[in-house]
Amino acid sequence: MKTLDIAVIPGDGIGKEVVPEALRVLDAIEQVHGGLKFNYTHYPWSCEYYIETGKMMPDDGLEQLSSFDAIFLGAVGDPTLVPDHVSLGGLLLKIRRGFEQVINVRPAKMLKGLVSPLRDPKDFDIMIVRENSEGEYSSIGGRVHSGMDEVVVQNAVFTKKGVSRVMEYGFDIAGKRGGHLTSATKSNGIAHSMPFWDEVFKEMAENYPDIRTRSEHIDALSAFFVTKPETLDVVVASNLFGDILSDIGAAIMGSIGIAPAGNINLNGKFPSMFEPVHGSAPDIYGKGIANPIGQIWTAKMMLDHLGEMEMGAIVLAAIEETLESGIKTGDIGGSSNTAEVTDAIIASI
């Protein structure tokens, strides 16, 4: 029996609804597999937890999580309770940074049975590889003067090490997929970080002579996600650019409620963390109508990461079969509720 220890953090809003659904799917996978057992430990860390304790997670939170095989996260943030930069900074971003989850991978591909908002989506299949530890998301900066004289400086920090490893990851995935790699830049407008980004990309490309490369400014590239997504394959991007592109990627798939993300630790010292791209959507929380597919596809990504690729493929096939049968939540044009969609996926498994 292969036992996997999973830390489960449902978080806020619909995270609390869709995480249990995804766990039901994983239960079904245990049945199918026969030799696989998930051991869940639940953590209530969230904005409500903050209201009670003044913290998004306990001081030894990272320590508590450190020996799990993976972390399964719902969604973090509820600005009606806690400002976003406090809630995200105190939980999601803290784990990403503390556990050196330096890469964030997010697929954007047409699933069978989903209707894209694009007129002619042409079966795109993109993998976004996002830098997840530095760049524009830096806590360095501050303010001077006040009133109309106030000036705020925000620093973005790019290191050769950080940029190299995300690009290397991108080249490796492109190699495995037999595909090509596009780098998201903005060196025509941003004077220091982006010319450096381009330099490292060019340098690294020389080590991968068989992989076709392309470099596009983030403005044009964002437009290409809409006008010709089928021309893209693997896309490597900075923290901010990857964030933006992965939401556009989710949008062209048909709903932000669909897409999964993996926060990958490369050095094996800490667990990786899996979470859907969507947020906590407090406005629809509690109605039982949230789309569980983002969280369930996230479970598939976690399975792949834990070496259970065959099980991952079964989950994805069940998602597609369910979508094709028309059992969908309202955000993607159906009329089923959260539990009905999960039930159908489990039945298909």
List, in order, residues 6 or more apart from 288 with CB less than 8 Å away: 17, 337, 338, 339
Residue 188 interacts with ligand IPM (CB under 6 A): yes or no: yes
Asked whether 19 and 295 are in contact (CB, 8 A), the reply is yes
Pairing of strands 234-237, 70-75: unpaired
Asked whether 106 and 45 are in contact (CB, 8 A), the reply is no
Q: How far is the CB of 113 from ligand IPM (least distance, A)?
A: 25
Cβ nearer to its own copies, comparing 115 with 339: 115
Residue 139 interacts with ligand IPM (CB under 6 A): yes or no: no
Residue with tokens 């969280």: 295
Q: How far is the CB of 284 from ligand IPM (least distance, A)?
A: 17
Order of all β-strands in the sheet with 272-276: 36-42, 2-11, 70-75, 272-276, 260-264, 103-109, 125-131, 234-237, 181-185, 213-217
Q: Report the alpha-carbon distance of residue 290 to residue 275 in Å, rounded.
A: 15
Give the C-alpha distances (Å, rounded to integers) separating 282 from 11, 14, 86, 119, 194.
11, 7, 17, 30, 36
Residue 310 interacts with ligand IPM (CB under 6 A): yes or no: no
Cβ nearer to ligand IPM, comparing 38 with 241: 241
Residue 134 interacts with ligand IPM (CB under 6 A): yes or no: no
Tell me which of 27, 219, 283, 310 binds ligand IPM, using CB under 6 A: 219
Give me the DSSP letters along 31-71. HHHSSEEEEEEE---SHHHHHHHSSSS-TTHHHHHTTSSEE
150 binds, among its own copies, ligand IPM, none (CB under 5 to 8 A by kind): its own copies
Cβ nearer to ligand IPM, comparing 123 with 219: 219
Q: How far is the CB of 277 from ligand IPM (least distance, A)?
A: 6
Q: Report the alpha-carbon distance of residue 314 to residue 310 in Å, rounded.
A: 6
Cβ nearer to its own copies, comparing 1 with 191: 191
Residue 243 interacts with ligand IPM (CB under 6 A): yes or no: yes
Cβ nearer to ligand IPM, comparing 141 with 189: 189
Tell me which of 141, 189, 307, 326 binds ligand IPM, using CB under 6 A: 189
80 binds, among its own copies, ligand IPM, none (CB under 5 to 8 A by kind): none
Residue 195 interacts with ligand IPM (CB under 6 A): yes or no: no
Q: How far is the CB of 326 from ligand IPM (least distance, A)?
A: 30
For ligand IPM, the binding residues (CB under 6 A) are 77, 88, 92, 188-189, 219, 243
